Structure 1
Amino acid sequence: MAEDKILKADSNEMELVDFRIYKQGMNKVYEGIYGVNVAKVKEIIKIPALTELPGVPEYIEGVFDLRGVVIPVINLAKWMNIIEPKDMVLKPRIIIAEFSNIMIGFIVHEAKRIRRINASAIRGSDFSTNTGGFDKSQITGIAKIENDEVLLILDLERIVEELGIYSPKIDIEEKEIKKMTGTAVVVDDSSTARKLVHDALAKMGFKVIEAKDGVDGLNKMNELYALYDKDIASQVKVIISDVEMPQMDGFHFAAKLKEDGRFKGIPIIFNSSLSNEFSAVKSKDVGGDAFLTKFDANVFYKEVSKIIESYINK
């Protein structure tokens, strides 16, 4: 899953591993088409022997050791409350993905291919397409593919949050959090991630504006400019942006802001579950002031304070 796949972010394209989950209906089996970003996928393997864990949610099938790393395994069909086919011969695989430096395995019924889809063709989570009865909040985007079929991008960060990975112990005490004033903008397609960042920024004293992708983020920035005019850089103190998003990814969003004289004086911090050096390098290329891996609250507070102060002191 190499460097060139990640660096193609400048084409606003997203490369996805296309996988399938089949659902047992009344009289037939339905095929669900899903995707996960290639940049997060480490490998795809057959299901090994798993060690069950007591007292965990039903969708956690167990753990296994992969070259010295203990990996929890999530059954995506169970997580989505999908009834698996009774008589169909499946080709199950585990997609091993990395989120915030943590490896997690996801059981899928079949791994098909790699697709390259332009982010502008991916609609956000406010779609009306029938998703087969499961919770639409589990989805961050939808793209039309061949034969009028649709591919759904799951909000796997919700699973990461449910496992507690995005809820670390905060070593810094509330009184040690540097207080700020003004507005902060959070751009992220995951409602789970937005809430985490929103809450952290609110503790710092910011009024927080949320956007669900890069296009929405640009719209929100234009609305803020209409409100603050030339004072926008003194009112909007920081923008926190995800990288992977439908319609417009975080790199394109940042590049457009930095090219716009109205907004180039506002710091942009990337906050992503991608944890690789290529994304960090790319973030600098497009004008990002920092690249953080979700979600270490202690690092977040310190970096946000430091970068805002550096802009104030320029």
Structure 2
Amino acid sequence: MSHNLIDRIDQRTRLAGHNRLALLLFRLGGRQLFGVNVFKVREVLRRPGLFQVPGVPADFAGVADVRGRSVPVLDLGRAIGHPERDRADAPGYLVVTEFNRSVQGYLVSEVERIVNIAVEDILPPPDSGAGSSYLTAVTRHGGELIQVIDVESVLAEISQARMDAELSGEYALPPGAPPMQVLVVDDSRVARQQIRRVLDQLGVGVTLLSDGRQALDHLLQVHAAGESPAQRYALVVSDIEMPAMDGYTLTTEIRRHPELADLFVLLHTSLSGVFNTSMVQSVGADAFVAKYNPHDLADHILARLREVADEAGGAFAGAALPG
């Protein structure tokens, strides 16, 4: 089962840029169907034996030996407080994920299948008014409601990952730098706040949006109002794997539109690999940086801000970037 599933995952990831989202569907106990973006899935295994090691947060179920690598494992149903989790048998499968330069596993009760969903059928999650949510989207397939889980947010909350990493003083913009704005596009609440924290420390204004469709509509509205989007925004920082419109498609649409084509696009993703690098180049993105290292992100943003300042008259043309 695992070998065939991973073959299908490899095929589905090639859907990027075609406004389709591939989801791995699973259950956590009970009838509710959940999904996770196939881009983040490395493999699916029957539940292996777990062992305990020092230094792993207490909320983790343990560590699994996956092909000679120690992988921290989280019981996903328990982590998100799924009400039917305690009524289920012990989770039977391990979904191994890779994002943000790390590998981790999630225990689930059952693995169903992989489905290919048109992005127009993927909707934002309902606004519960709570400060955090494990959902990144909702959709339907075969008459069933699918809750799409933001595994990055789940991991960040359980491991108490810091979203407020402090940049050193050398990353500050010099006095006299012109005011600048950055458009940030990411469906993950955690990622948006991480990027915002970097930009706040740089003293740069930020507009936050949660998917590529929103971003494209916003940029076209800016143009329709008589303002150049490339003049308003020094750059666009966009995730790749998003519902509604992924970052590849957003970049392609920006390049196709004569009034948007001059925008600088930095693709920022939790995924890595040769395929992503090739796609970044083919869609015309200006730069790519893997999530999540605040200093790497700040380096890329500062490089672009320096270019903008040079074009505007060299307010800090002689300033050296941290290196």
Q: Into which bin does the TM-score normalised by the smaller protein fall?
A: 0.7 to 0.9
Among residues 164, 173, 177, which one is paired with 2:168 in the alignment? 173
Deviations 1:218-270 (A, max 9, x none): 2221333355624x323310101111111111111111111111111111111
* Counterpart residue identity of residue 144, structure 1: R
Between the aligned partners of 2:271 and 2:87, the Cα distance in structure 1 is: 38
* Counterpart residue identity of residue 210, structure 1: L
Between the aligned partners of 1:296 and 1:188, the Cα distance in structure 2 is: 16
Q: Find the counterpart in structure 2 of residue 26 from structure 1.
A: none
Q: CA deviation at 1:294?
A: 1.1
Q: What's the Cα RMSD here?
A: 2.7
Q: Find the counterpart in structure 2 of residue 20 from structure 1.
A: 27
Aligned partner of residue 124 in structure 1, secondary structure: coil
Q: CA deviation at 1:71?
A: 0.8
TM-score by length of 1: 0.85
TM-score by length of 2: 0.83
Among residues 257, 260, 263, which one is paired with 1:260 in the alignment? 257
Among residues 176, 179, 182, which one is paired with 2:180 in the alignment? 182
* 1:81-160 alignment, distance < 5 Å: 81-84=81-84, 89=89, 92-126=92-126, 137-146=133-142, 148-160=143-155
* 1:73-84 alignment, distance < 5 Å: 73-84=73-84
Q: CA deviation at 1:57?
A: 5.4
**Given the alignment of the two structures, is residue 269 of structure 1 paired with residue 276 of structure 2, yes or no?**
no
Asked if the contact 2:56–2:72 (Cα under 8 Å) also holds between the matched residues in 1, the reply is: no
Q: Find the counterpart in structure 1 of residue 68 from structure 2.
A: 68
Distance 1:309 1:199, change over 3 A: same
Unaligned runs of 5+ in 2: 1-5, 312-323
User: Between the two proteins, what is the percent identity of the paired residues?
Assistant: 25
Among residues 156, 161, 169, which one is paired with 2:156 in the alignment? 161
**Residue-pair matches, total:** 299
Q: Find the counterpart in structure 1 of residue 281 from structure 2.
A: 284
Aligned partner of residue 265 in structure 1, secondary structure: coil
Among residues 210, 213, 219, which one is paired with 1:212 in the alignment? 210
Between the aligned partners of 2:223 and 2:205, the Cα distance in structure 1 is: 16
Q: CA deviation at 1:201?
A: 1.4
Deviations 1:190-226 (A, max 9, x none): 1111111111112222110111111111222133335
**Given the alignment of the two structures, is residue 42 of structure 1 paired with residue 42 of structure 2, yes or no?**
yes
Deviations 1:142-171 (A, max 9, x none): 11111x21111101111232325665966x
* Counterpart residue identity of residue 202, structure 1: D
Deviations 1:129-188 (A, max 9, x none): xxxxx9972101111111x21111101111232325665966x51333345631100111
Between the aligned partners of 1:4 and 1:87, the Cα distance in structure 2 is: 35
Between the aligned partners of 1:85 and 1:263, the Cα distance in structure 2 is: 47
Between the aligned partners of 1:45 and 1:219, the Cα distance in structure 2 is: 41
* Counterpart residue identity of residue 111, structure 1: V
Asked if the contact 1:168–1:297 (Cα under 8 Å) also holds between the matched residues in 2, the reply is: no
Asked if the contact 2:234–2:304 (Cα under 8 Å) also holds between the matched residues in 1, the reply is: no
Aligned partner of residue 10 in structure 1, secondary structure: coil
Asked if the contact 1:239–1:267 (Cα under 8 Å) also holds between the matched residues in 2, the reply is: yes
Distance 1:107 1:203, change over 3 A: same
Asked if the contact 1:167–1:295 (Cα under 8 Å) also holds between the matched residues in 2, the reply is: no
Distance 1:210 1:274, change over 3 A: same
Deviations 1:5-38 (A, max 9, x none): 322213211111111112xxxxxxx311111122
Distance 1:55 1:65, change over 3 A: closer
Between the aligned partners of 1:91 and 1:159, the Cα distance in structure 2 is: 17
Deviations 1:69-103 (A, max 9, x none): 22110111111112446665566100000012211
Asked if the contact 1:125–1:136 (Cα under 8 Å) also holds between the matched residues in 2, the reply is: no
Distance 1:55 1:297, change over 3 A: closer
Aligned partner of residue 137 in structure 1, secondary structure: coil
* Counterpart residue identity of residue 221, structure 1: L
Between the aligned partners of 1:152 and 1:21, the Cα distance in structure 2 is: 11
Between the aligned partners of 1:236 and 1:107, the Cα distance in structure 2 is: 42
Q: CA deviation at 1:295?
A: 1.0
